[in-house]
Structure 1
Amino acid sequence: MEYHSGGSGSPGDHHHHHHGSSDSQRRKKRYHRHTANQIQRLEAMFKECPHPDEKQRLQLSRELALAPRQIKFWFQNRRTQMKAQHERADNCQLRAENDKIRCENIAIREALKNVICPSCGGPPINDDCYFDEQKLRIENAQLKEELDRVSSIAAKYIGRPISQLPPVTPIHISSLDLSMGSFGGHGMGGGPSLDLDLLPGSSSTMQNVPYQPPCLTEMEKSVMSDIATNAMDELVRLLQTDDPLWMKSNTDGRDVLNLDTYDRMFPKANNRLKNPNIRTEASRDSGVVIMNGLTLVEMFMDANKWMELFPTIVAMAKTIEVIASGMMGGHSGSLQLMYEELQVLSPLVPIREFYFLRYCQQIEQGLWAIVDVSYDFPHDNQFAPQFRCHRLPSGCFIQDMPNGYSKVTWIEHLEIEDKNPVHRLYRNVIYSSAAFGAERFLTTLQRMCERLACLMVSANSTGNLSGVIPSPEGKRSMMKLAQRMVTNFCASISASASHRWTTLSALNEIGVRVTVRKSTDPGQPNGVVLSAATTIWLPLPPQTVFNFFKDERKRSQWDVLSNGNAVQEVAHIANGAHPGNCISVLRAYNTSQNNMLILQESCVDSSGSLVVYCPVDLTAINMAMNGEDPSCIPLLPSGFTITSDGNQNDSNNNNIQSGGGGNGDGASTSSNTNIGNKSSGGSLITVAFQIMVSSLPSAKLNMESVATVNGLIGETVQHIKAALNCPSS
């Protein structure tokens, strides 16, 4: 389309010269470049309305002292120019997308060369197909449609047919799950679409860090040492200073950081970027823990033990490099670069990822300080998290006390940049620092140390059923089995870089999220496992809900799989002073499956509670009870997590202070009994199931198994609401 030049000026500045008449001279004089002011006014109008009608054109011509024709032609030219720009941009974008697909294709083919079959150690067999052929056919047809659509657009913009573009080599779809999500998200025309990534291995073996930093130079190590030393100085001051740096909240008695005082004390922290999307989470708490200081320090400095201590919070931890080892074989002066993923047990809360330095120092006899501070790599992470978390100096004092106890004072201090809004159900919990704060770490630590103490003592504390578990070894073996079950359960809920959730149905306001993985762990059934979870809100205090799930007499009211049959506890191991912390073996009165028992562990502290269970056959339970190594018993746990919804409009909330209330003289379990005193608040319940889709290596993930797990969750949620008299909307 050509430029019209009935007027002059931008764009184009074409001047038509009419030769040979005085008339033309006169007209030439009337041609002039538009003034900056006129162009500005025309551009503003164009932004508002690229196609002005006659009335608008006349008004502009009066305002700008231009002929109506000039106005008309200016708009025509501007529209043409705009269209050309768009076409150029689209063209570039298409080319970039084409390049990206080619690169991905090469990467995928390279990756496929390195895949090893988990069962035989050889290369993969090409027909290793986990998905219905039908689904693949539909998907192929859809991809063809998509390709045709892109081809016609490309042909229009590029001016030649797409076949002349650089070729994209096809690969066998059977060897990969090309999830629907990567193709512009166009839904299926007819059949159902499943965006399920098949994940290699089970979560417990997924020790792959999203970004593996290159080998560190001496220069970088010395920078890290400086950062760690400064962080330690800041942490010690934060731990030792009270008012005006930390103030008691008048709603719940928690310690709240006064940011003005903090900025004055630590001026370098003013790099708060003044970004309106960045918010600070700061919390401090202290309590008594039933474990001596040195053992705690050793566990904190070992990434695997760190995960074991916090199975409900730390989804993954790994030491990337030891930068300095401690002096004289101890841990004082030890500095490590670590990676971790922290979770809240709900598919609605994305995982938080940190690369951080952990530095340990013995301050004096019997007192250690451990500091964590973020170390941000300038990497372009392909799993870029949905938000950026930066840990400012955080950590704890560990002070030895008599009788093998320690007093632990803990600080969590984070800067969070949310790109996506926090899900409204979790807003209170996350903004109040309850989700990832000091109190949750400390109460979990108290509970886990109590559990470890119970593991140490001999079997005489198993209560009136101690006769069932004949030996301390048997009890220890059962506790190890239950701990693995809880860890596996927590890993199946977290939505990490390696676990992507797909929303399935509008069963409730949130929908059920599902994810699929191929399980190859020795302690897991071999095959394809489907995890599904949803979170619901109930207008009841957490303690009420926990008691309901704990009561085996009420189990038939919610357990869809029990077919209404009652269950009976046949063995019981106490994991702590609170009766809710225990491991049980339950037998269902169901004649058809006499050899099936249910292993269950429940845990409760002031930050929330869990009930996790798993069917285990009789011979496996007997094996564990006799003290044999339980690590090869396959587990596929399901269960519930229960936390307060964080509604804090109740004056009793200062009861929710964690053990010892911050003065260090309370017993480590004093907090547990206070869970759920929030009379006004409700509870957030996550319901999660895992099912074996198939144990065949050539398993197909069909809609049937997805529908099964969806139905299972839907029915369970309805049963829970009915049993607790909650509206079932």
Structure 2
Amino acid sequence: MDYGGGGGRSGDDHHDASDSHRRKKRYHRHTANQIQRLEAVFSECPHPDEKTRLQLSRELDLAPRQIKFWFQNRRTQMKAQHERADNCALRMENDKIRCENIAIREALKNVICPSCGGPPVGEDPYFDEQKIRMENAQLKEELDRVSSIAAKYIGRPISQISPVQSIPISTLDLSVASFRGHRMTGPSLDLDLLPGSSSTIPNFSFPTLSISEMDKSLMADIAGNAMDELIRLLQTNEPLWMKSATDGRDVLNIESYERIFPRANNHLKNPNLWIEASRDSGVVIMNGLALVDMLMDSNKWVELFPTIVSRARTIEVISSRMLGSQSGTLQLMYEELQVLSPLVATRQFYFLRFSQQIEQGFWAIVDVSYDLPHDNQFASQCRARRMPSGCLIQEMPNGYSKVTWLEHLEIEDKVPIHRLYRDLIHSGSAFGAERWLATLQRMCERLAVMVTGNSTRDLGGVIPSPEGKRSMIKLAQRMVNNFCASINPSNGHQWTTLSGLNDFEVRTTLHRNTDPGQPSGVILSAATTIWLPIPPQNVFNFFRDERTRPQWDVLSNHNPVQEVAHIANGSNPGNCISVLRAFNTNQNNMLILQESCTDSSGSLVVYCPIDLPFINIAMSGEDPSYIPLLPSGFTISPDGRLEGDGASTSSNTTVGGGRSAGSLITVVFQILVSSLPTAKFSPESVTTVNNLIGNTLQQIKAALNCSTS
């Protein structure tokens, strides 16, 4: 093109020259005077309005867009500078804490008693070791968090930048091989462990995802459609829902559902698929916003439903639209759902969870299954698919909320269901909305106890302070969580069925425990499930009553047991934490911590032997995280059959509105047996475990006048 010349230019020539001029100005560097003026305005107002930007444009001979982009870039630069400074400060503080921690431990090694020159009297090496393990775990978590923040801004892992000089800690011995001889937190069994298969739990790895903008858009569409379906299912009665003639529950009308919500693959429906759909509503003691926050946090999700959710994880946060609010948050999650028995396989899901505030004081949360590409980790295990499920949460006065819950699953019945649980699962009660809501109501009552402060009975004349009560509740909750996790171990650990010497199946798993706050070593979990023709509430009352405990508890040696402390956990008298003392034993310094809890879906009685000094620590309000726990106990659930369905008994326990015909009882023992890295059962070990559980069951049946297994 001819850009020179004195003659007049054509329109195209003028247009091209204008484009060239704009391109040159786009890369024009600001003068020192312009930058000084812009910095002065930025220091007073980082977000200038349009009027200010136009004024600066005239003063500095810059286009309004240049002014706008300069301020945007300056704000981004300032934010990055602040975050890098914060990150550097966190790293320095973390290193300082690590050095102080190691220095204190080294100093403790040189502490001597001024009287005898030996270690201080009353020192408890195991107790101190548990505290150090907890501190190390917290430090590692903090270091990982700081490293991830640094890597976010630097662009590569922090280990590739400047490795932190590590301080040798080889002198710190974390093994507690002598634990059995020093303190015992479970029944002592002399199991003959021989070299064999590794007892280390295999690592469970989640897939590394690269989610594109197109994937996010697809996920948003799936979640949005699921939200629309959820709200309609929860707010509509007929023709979508009908009342069951047998128990009065809401039953999904499949024909109406498929007509209103047609699916592309409807004509290819697998004949082995069956549907579980249930709906329930009730009032919980928690305000709506706090409840939404807990449901959107995978860790709190597990804490809120320990008897149902054995494992959960947020894989990716897809979007979070409102600052300071969960409304509009979409995240990809993973969860494992369980029935508290080794006879029932867990259900695994990858799913999208989407929250939305419908109106003031009214929220909805929806879950819907999402298939991950190229991930076959659960191809042989996953037999369930979550259709749009979730809840509506309506704020009520005085900190309460009304919750309407929906569970809607497609199940592929590949593996036969164990005969004991066939009725319970096919009735929809095992994973139904009633169980979720009953558990939510009970757990919200439990959380409210932490604030309201129900009455307690004293221990040794000392009434625990509010801090002591909270510490005891936290300790008992950790005990219950550990117990529930032991029934369906995560990380791919499988139960082994022993060749029983009795008329029941004993299932065991052996693993090495390295979790802080628990005994370190090889732990044996042994469990079995039986059916008794007795109402679940009667069985629960039998197990939780200290007066009947000597009839079944091997730890009490048939001696009387006294409840010396009691903390109520809700309106139901059965929901409580107890501290028990067995008389006339050779372990006068040992107490039993027990939590019992019950709702319409089932009951738990979980207990753990614990030394008196540890109880005193918790009662005084100190952090109970490092107190070692190895719980055992019982789960009690309805059998899923209604009275008259083949079992003649009276019952006052309901299953979805009907009366339960009997109880399913799972007995679980956890035993610290060895610190060897590998182990397998010998024939003597099989006999010992079978005898332990067999004797316990015989005593239970004799006390309850039952001969049927």
TM-score, structure 2 as length reference: 0.70
Alpha-carbon offset, residue 708 of structure 1: 2.8
Matches within 5 A, 1:382-461: 382-458=377-453, 461=455
- Report the residue type matching 1:377 in the other structure: L
How far, CA to CA, are the matches of 1:691 and 1:475 in structure 2?
A: 28
- Report the residue type matching 1:547 in the other structure: N
Aligned to 1:236: 231
Alpha-carbon offset, residue 709 of structure 1: 2.7
Matches within 5 A, 1:277-316: 277-316=272-311
Aligned to 1:471: 465
Aligned to 2:535: 541
Aligned to 1:154: none
For 1:336, which of 331, 339, 346 is the aligned residue? 331
Contact in 2 for aligned 1:612/1:640 (Cα 8 Å): yes
Alpha-carbon offset, residue 379 of structure 1: 3.3
Residues 263 and 698 of structure 1, relative CA distance in 2, 3 Å threshold: closer
Contact in 2 for aligned 1:386/1:418 (Cα 8 Å): no
The alignment covers a number of residue pairs equal to: 520
Answer yes or no: is 1:710 the counterpart of 2:690: yes
How far, CA to CA, are the matches of 1:532 and 1:546 in structure 2?
A: 21
Aligned to 1:530: 524
Contact in 1 for aligned 2:249/2:656 (Cα 8 Å): no
- Report the residue type matching 1:612 in the other structure: V
How far, CA to CA, are the matches of 1:438 and 1:209 in structure 2?
A: 29
Stretches of structure 2 lacking an aligned partner (at least 5 in a row): 1-168, 176-190, 646-651
For 1:521, which of 515, 529, 532 is the aligned residue? 515
Aligned to 1:686: 666
How far, CA to CA, are the matches of 1:588 and 1:223 in structure 2?
A: 61
Aligned to 1:246: 241
How far, CA to CA, are the matches of 2:316 and 2:679 in structure 1?
A: 41
Answer yes or no: is 1:255 the counterpart of 2:250: yes
How far, CA to CA, are the matches of 1:693 and 1:272 in structure 2?
A: 55
How far, CA to CA, are the matches of 2:420 and 2:696 in structure 1?
A: 20
How far, CA to CA, are the matches of 2:363 and 2:491 in structure 1?
A: 33
SS in 2 for 1:318: strand
Stretches of structure 1 lacking an aligned partner (at least 5 in a row): 1-118, 126-131, 140-175, 178-196, 201-207, 652-671
How far, CA to CA, are the matches of 1:425 and 1:120 in structure 2?
A: 51
Answer yes or no: is 1:563 the counterpart of 2:557: yes
CA offset digits 1:330-370 (Å, max 9, x no partner):
11100000000000000000000000000000000000000
How far, CA to CA, are the matches of 1:133 and 1:478 in structure 2?
A: 36
SS in 1 for 2:268: coil
Matches within 5 A, 1:133-212: 177=198, 197-199=199-201, 209-212=204-207
Contact in 2 for aligned 1:557/1:720 (Cα 8 Å): yes
How far, CA to CA, are the matches of 1:121 and 1:222 in structure 2?
A: 54
For 1:498, which of 466, 472, 492 is the aligned residue? 492
SS in 1 for 2:384: strand
How far, CA to CA, are the matches of 1:425 and 1:418 in structure 2?
A: 16
For 2:581, which of 549, 562, 587 is the aligned residue? 587
How far, CA to CA, are the matches of 1:572 and 1:408 in structure 2?
A: 31
How far, CA to CA, are the matches of 2:514 and 2:261 in structure 1?
A: 49
Aligned to 1:5: none
Aligned to 1:72: none
For 1:483, which of 477, 486, 493 is the aligned residue? 477
Name the Cα RMSD after superposition: 2.8
For 1:217, which of 212, 216, 226 is the aligned residue? 212
Alpha-carbon offset, residue 134 of structure 1: 9.3
CA offset digits 1:107-131 (Å, max 9, x no partner):
xxxxxxxxxxxx9699x99xxxxxx
- Report the residue type matching 1:296 in the other structure: L
Alpha-carbon offset, residue 215 of structure 1: 2.0
Aligned to 1:264: 259
Contact in 1 for aligned 2:522/2:677 (Cα 8 Å): no
- Report the residue type matching 1:689 in the other structure: F
Answer yes or no: is 1:601 the counterpart of 2:603: no
- Report the residue type matching 1:687 in the other structure: V
- Report the residue type matching 2:521 in the other structure: G
How far, CA to CA, are the matches of 2:171 and 2:277 in structure 1?
A: 48
- Report the residue type matching 1:709 in the other structure: V
- Report the residue type matching 1:300 in the other structure: L
Contact in 1 for aligned 2:247/2:658 (Cα 8 Å): no
How far, CA to CA, are the matches of 2:460 and 2:258 in structure 1?
A: 57
Residues 272 and 721 of structure 1, relative CA distance in 2, 3 Å threshold: farther
How far, CA to CA, are the matches of 1:677 and 1:265 in structure 2?
A: 28
Contact in 2 for aligned 1:347/1:495 (Cα 8 Å): no
How far, CA to CA, are the matches of 2:369 and 2:687 in structure 1?
A: 42
SS in 2 for 1:291: coil
- Report the residue type matching 1:713 in the other structure: I
TM-score, structure 1 as length reference: 0.68
For 2:313, which of 283, 298, 318 is the aligned residue? 318
Residues 442 and 133 of structure 1, relative CA distance in 2, 3 Å threshold: closer
How far, CA to CA, are the matches of 1:722 and 1:543 in structure 2?
A: 18
- Report the residue type matching 1:725 in the other structure: N
Higher relative CO (CA 8 A, sep ≥ 6), structure 1 or 2? 2
Residues 709 and 676 of structure 1, relative CA distance in 2, 3 Å threshold: farther
Q: Percent identity?
A: 70
For 1:624, which of 597, 618, 622 is the aligned residue? 618
Alpha-carbon offset, residue 566 of structure 1: 1.2
How far, CA to CA, are the matches of 2:690 and 2:267 in structure 1?
A: 44
